[in-house]
Each structure stands twice: as structure tokens, then as C-alpha cells.
Amino acid sequence: MTEDLWSLLRWTCQVQRMVDDLRVSDAAGTTTPEQEREYRLHRAALAQQHLAAADATGSDPEEARRDADLTASLLWKHDTLHRSHRGPLPATHPGWKASNLSDYVRQEADAAGLRPS
């Protein structure tokens, strides 16, 4: 397995831990918009990495694309609602359309210094 695939696997495990933490927070009624955003950002960035690696992992590229599109949209909607962007263009900027939300995810991941480890 290449280092890129190991990195993708480690990042996937990290996002799964975030899901587990959110379930505990939701059950306790303590989930914050910031915690939810952090998960959505990681999940959307990870989905884009999975899409880029679909051939190498044997994944269905169309399924990977749908997941990347859905998670990008969920991050964008969250940031629109909570005005919680970090990148130079806010989620409410008129330049963001359904067709370029992957660029929004990249902007936000870059602003957060998010890279697979």
C-alpha cells in the first residue's frame, strides 16, 4: 500500500472518531456549531480525497462523486447558516454555486491547514 493510501486510511479513521464524538455530544445535548463544522469540513475534504483516489482504491467513481458533492453541500450550507467560513470568500459569496462547491471545500481546508496525515 502506498503512503498516500495509508494517509487516506488514517484520515478516514480520524473522521470516524469525530463521528463517534458527535454521537456522544448529541446524546448529551452538548454539540456546538463549531464541533459540527469541524466534522463537516474534515468529512468534505476526506470525500474529495476519496474521489481523487477512487481508481487506486477500487471505489465506484460515481458513488465517490456523489459523496463528495453531498458533503461539500452540507459544509457550505452549515457555513452559510452559521457564517463560519475561514477562507477568503464567505459561503454567502454569490460566486459559490452547486457546480463549484468542491472549490469551497478546498478553500476552507486550505484555510484550516487541513491535510491528510
- Summarised one tens digit per residue, pLDDT across range 7-54 is 999 999 999 999 999 999 999 999 999 999 999 999 999 999 999 999
Dihedral Cα 48, 52, 54, 55, nearest 10 deg: 180
Task: Place 2 in a pLDDT band, splitting at 50, 70 and 90.
Answer: confident
pTM here is: 0.92
Would you say residue 115 has pLDDT above 80? Answer: no
Tell me how far apart the alpha carbons of residues 107 and 20 are, in angstroms, rounded to a whole number.
26
Q: What is the pLDDT of residues 53-88, one digit of tens each?
A: 999 899 999 999 999 999 999 999 999 999 999 999
Q: Band of the pLDDT at 117, cuts 50, 70, 90?
A: very low
Per DSSP, the chain holds a count of helices (H) and strands (E) of: 5, 0
pLDDT at residue 1, as a whole number: 67
